[in-house]
């Protein structure tokens, strides 16, 4: 027997032992309580934000809620799938059958590796190209000691072309070496439990060769795009702008031109002046020294007061000016030996 065949035979024996162990283990049904509580909490937060008309917070929380409810539903589907699988358990494959599966892998994939110490079987796909975007070949690495866990395999990009916005998204359906199995999930589960390794690797490989625009981590149209910091839309590299104040990346639609100095900035760096309502950048805005509200440079006086505060200060000064002549007259009369007029009773110090 060739050395290679001995390795395959040993691997087959170990894989069978794992399958036997997984089959013997009592299935523990875990309902997605944590996910459910997270959804409940988010609903409460959304209501709270709505009652205060914090619309941006409502949008952000609604997005989080949507993701949480999807995770919760996925977990429930998994529980349902486990229940379904336990009703119709696949026959335990023989060592010979698993050996046959391992041998057949070489007919389907150019590179196949069996690593006994690390308990892995891996295959390398052909370079993946979806809608003219190349993602390079992927290694699908099954850890047989992890059969029964989700997922027991990794999908590793060997020549990665990650999405611009997310370096661990190496494929529209792979994030952090984990494949989002979608329609292939149940077939993968069944293949694993039955020890049908060829089917497992074929299914994973076919998912990698398919693009589902409806639920990709990053869609292909946005693969090389950069997200706009304000609206989140993907922007092509040649259509990217940067805020002149903070440097954030922006799309053309989110650019705001400062009405005072004409720089282009993002929403965070622009504010409406409380006086003239012009949009001004952070460089052209200042707090009024009196009321502390934001105004543009044109609406503040030389001493940093808005129109209203300036009027109030003028009125106060005028009042002070009007009371001053009486005091001066009284002082002059006293010095001349005349009786000075008495101050109003309320002002007399006792």
Considering the complex, state which of residue 204 and residue 266 has its C-beta at the smaller distance from other proteins: 204
Least distance (Å) between residue 90 CB and other proteins: 7
Considering the complex, state which of residue 101 and residue 244 has its C-beta at the smaller distance from other proteins: 101
CA distance 245 to 258: 11
Least distance (Å) between residue 101 CB and other proteins: 7
Considering the complex, state which of residue 181 and residue 248 has its C-beta at the smaller distance from other proteins: 181
Least distance (Å) between residue 107 CB and other proteins: 7
Least distance (Å) between residue 204 CB and other proteins: 9
Least distance (Å) between residue 38 CB and other proteins: 20
Least distance (Å) between residue 191 CB and other proteins: 6
* Number of Cβ within a 10 Å radius of residue 93: 20
CA distance 278 to 271: 8
Considering the complex, state which of residue 194 and residue 265 has its C-beta at the smaller distance from other proteins: 194
Cβ atoms of residues 215 and 235 within 8 Å: no
CA distance 171 to 216: 9
Cβ-based neighbours of 254, under 8 Å, separated by 6 or more: 228, 229, 230, 231, 266, 267
Considering the complex, state which of residue 59 and residue 209 has its C-beta at the smaller distance from other proteins: 209
Considering the complex, state which of residue 8 and residue 280 has its C-beta at the smaller distance from other proteins: 8
* Number of Cβ within a 10 Å radius of residue 287: 13
Please report the beta strands in the chain, taking only residues with DSSP state E, as ranges in sequence order.
111-115, 120-124, 128-130, 133-136, 138-143, 153-157, 169-171, 174-175, 178-179, 226-227, 234-235, 241-242, 249-250, 256-257, 264-265, 270-272, 279-281, 285-287, 294-296
* Number of Cβ within a 10 Å radius of residue 127: 12
Least distance (Å) between residue 268 CB and other proteins: 34
Q: How many CA atoms lie within 13 A of 237 on its CB side?
A: 5
Give residue for tokens 């590793």. Answer: 156
Considering the complex, state which of residue 32 and residue 184 has its C-beta at the smaller distance from other proteins: 184
* Number of Cβ within a 10 Å radius of residue 296: 24
Considering the complex, state which of residue 112 and residue 265 has its C-beta at the smaller distance from other proteins: 112
- Which of 94, 92, 100 shows the shortest CA–CA distance to 8? 100
Least distance (Å) between residue 6 CB and other proteins: 20
Considering the complex, state which of residue 192 and residue 228 has its C-beta at the smaller distance from other proteins: 192
CA distance 134 to 154: 20
Least distance (Å) between residue 271 CB and other proteins: 42
- The CA distances from residue 54 to 48, 61, 182, in Å, are 9, 11, 35
Give me the residues that bind other proteins (CB under 8 A), please: 90, 100-101, 104, 107, 172-173, 179-184, 186-191, 194, 196, 198-199, 202-203, 206-210, 212, 214-216
């Amino acid at each position: 027997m060739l050395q290679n065949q001995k390795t395959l035979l040993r691997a087959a024996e170990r894989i069978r032992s794992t399958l036997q162990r997984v089959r013997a283990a009592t299935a523990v049904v875990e309902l997605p309580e944590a996910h459910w509580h997270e959804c409940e909490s988010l609903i409460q937060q959304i209501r709270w934000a709505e009652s205060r008309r914090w619309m941006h917070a409502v949008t952000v929380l609604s997005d989080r809620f949507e993701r949480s409810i999807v995770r919760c539903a996925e977990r429930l589907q998994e529980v349902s799938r486990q229940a379904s699988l336990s009703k119709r358990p696949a026959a335990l494959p023989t060592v010979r059958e698993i050996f046959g599966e391992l041998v057949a892998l070489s007919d389907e994939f150019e590179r196949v590796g069996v690593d006994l110490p690390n308990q892995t079987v891996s295959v390398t796909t052909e370079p993946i190209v979806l809608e003219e975007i190349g993602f390079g070949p992927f290694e699908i690495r099954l850890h047989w000691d992890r059969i029964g866990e989700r997922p027991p395999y990794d999908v590793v990009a060997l020549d990665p072309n990650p999405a611009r916005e997310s370096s661990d998204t190496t494929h529209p359906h792979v994030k952090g070496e984990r494949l989002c199995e979608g329609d292939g999930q149940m077939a993968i589960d069944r293949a694993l439990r039955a020890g049908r390794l060829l089917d497992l690797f074929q299914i994973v490989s076919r998912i990698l060769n398919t693009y589902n625009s409806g639920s990709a981590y990053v869609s292909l149209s946005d693969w090389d795009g950069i997200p706009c910091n304000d609206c989140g839309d993907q922007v092509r590299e040649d259509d990217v702008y940067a805020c002149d104040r903070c440097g954030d990346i922006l799309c053309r639609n989110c650019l705001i031109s400062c009405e005072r100095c004409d720089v282009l900035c993002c929403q965070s760096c622009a504010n409406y002046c409380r006086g003239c309502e012009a949009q001004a950048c952070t460089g052209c805005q200042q707090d009024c020294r009196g009321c502390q509200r934001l105004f543009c440079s044109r609406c503040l006086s030389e001493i940093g007061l808005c129109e209203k505060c300036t009027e109030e200060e003028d009125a106060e000064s005028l009042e002070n000016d009007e009371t001053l002549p009486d005091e001066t007259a009284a002082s002059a009369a006293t010095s001349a030996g005349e009786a000075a007029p008495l101050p109003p009773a309320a002002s007399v110090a006792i």
